[in-house]
Amino acid sequence: MATFIRTPGVNPDTSRPSALSIDPVAAQTGALMLVDPTNPIFGKGFTGVPAHGATVPNLAWLSAAAAVGGTQASLAAVVDTVGMAGAKGALERTAKGGIHAIFSQVNNTAAADRTHYSLIVPEPIRTYLDANPDHNIYLSIWGRNTRRTDAASGQVVSISGIDAGTTAYRAYLNDNGSTAPSTGGSFLGARGSGATPLGNYIKNVGAAGTTGAFSIGTSTPTERARLWGIGNTGFLNTYAGGAQPAPQGHSGSHILYRAYLEDLTLSGRTYAQVDALDSAYYTEEVLTPGGRYYGDTFTAPV
């Protein structure tokens, strides 16, 4: 893959390949999903928080279409949300344009509460992942933790998850501890694998091809194929055990800045290569003065 040195405040040369102009980490071949609410391709970005059933643009749709088929519309992330209003929760765009999901830890107290906001991997990509279980994948989230989960240590509170069958995970990012995979032959590497601290973070995981009863193409995709999600959705989440009181606990509140999914087998890149690019770009845009998400402000969860 060709690379170039990115200078903060200087737009990429428009003669460069489109994938590099959109995002310096995204692979021209193998990028499946890229959600970044203030990416320069939008100009000033899209406004508001997309509602239930709406879509969020997948900036990697051209690369994804080459691999899985589909169109810009069919390859967008699909919003699934319930109850994120009033006493149960709130949604907002932050001052720097992140998507902030605020989950009430006081007013979501029954097993029947399914308060959440999720971005679902679209059907063509879910079907592709089902059909290619031997492919290596890379899953990454940039975010900000604005209130920690109160779940007991060891309880699963995923903020992103790709299923690998009814009792297994192909890849997930856990707000409350280790990623999956975390050991063994399917583990390629991870960053930010411990409990998410308050403040800005990057979490990613690389997963080698696995075997399992893959069914995310058609089976409960809102639970089993979340590119990003905050709140109670059942599987891949602490609430699978029933009611929310300890040890299951409650979801935290988070801001999404960027989510990325790559097929490493198609791109030909290693976990270490993508992680290095991803971490450097995160540092530039989130931790460095002048970055698009640096110094963000938001409504504090109450």
Q: Is 78 exposed, middle or buried (0-12, 13-18, 19+ CB in 10 A)?
A: buried
pLDDT, average across residues 60-70: 96
The C-alpha torsion from 134 through 79 and 193 to 260, rounded to 10°, is 60
pLDDT of amino acid 3: 40
pLDDT above 70 covers a percentage of the chain that reads 80
pLDDT higher for 151 or 23? 23
Across the range 44-50, mean pLDDT stands at 80
More confident residue, 185 or 103: 103
Question: Which pLDDT band, with edges at 50, 70 and 90, does 125 fall under?
Answer: very high
Mean pLDDT is lowest, of 38-47, 111-120, 131-140, 211-220, for 211-220
- Which of 225, 298, 197, 301 is CA-nearest to residue 257? 298
pLDDT for res 285: 97
Q: What is the predicted pLDDT for the residue at 223?
A: 64
Angstrom CA distances, 46 to 24, 56, 127, 262, stand at 20, 9, 28, 23
CB half-sphere exposure, 244, CA atoms < 13 A? 24
Q: Determine the pLDDT at residue 114.
A: 81
* Domains observed in the chain: 18-287 (2.60.120)
Q: Between the ranges 73-77, 105-109, 184-188, 249-253, where is the mean pLDDT highest?
A: 73-77
Which residues are CB-contacts of 123 (< 8 A; sequence separation ≥ 6)?
74, 217, 221
Residue with tokens 């640096």: 294
Q: What is the pLDDT of residues 271-302, one digit of tens each?
A: 999 999 999 999 999 999 999 999 999 999 98
- Give the whole-angstrom CA distance, residue 16 versus residue 2: 10
The residue with greater pLDDT, 9 or 176, is 176
Q: pLDDT tens digits, residue range 204-243?
A: 999 997 655 555 545 555 567 889 999 887 654 555 444 4
- Under the phi-then-psi rule, with left for phi > 0, alpha for psi from -120 to 50, and beta for the rest, what region is 256? beta
DSSP letter for 221, please: H
The partner residues of 102 in beta bridges, in order of sequence, read 90
pLDDT digits (tens, 9 = 90+) for 1-10: 334 344 444 4
Residue 47 — very low, low, confident or very high, per pLDDT cuts 50/70/90?
confident
By C-alpha distance, which of 237, 51, 196, 218 is closest to 131? 218
- How far is the C-alpha of 5 from the C-alpha of 13, rounded, in Å? 11
Structure tokens at 148: 């920690």
pLDDT of residue 244: 54
Burial of 29 (0-12, 13-18, 19+ CB in 10 A): middle
- Token output for 75: 């390859």
Residues 6+ positions from 113 with CB-CB distance below 8 Å = 83, 88, 232, 244
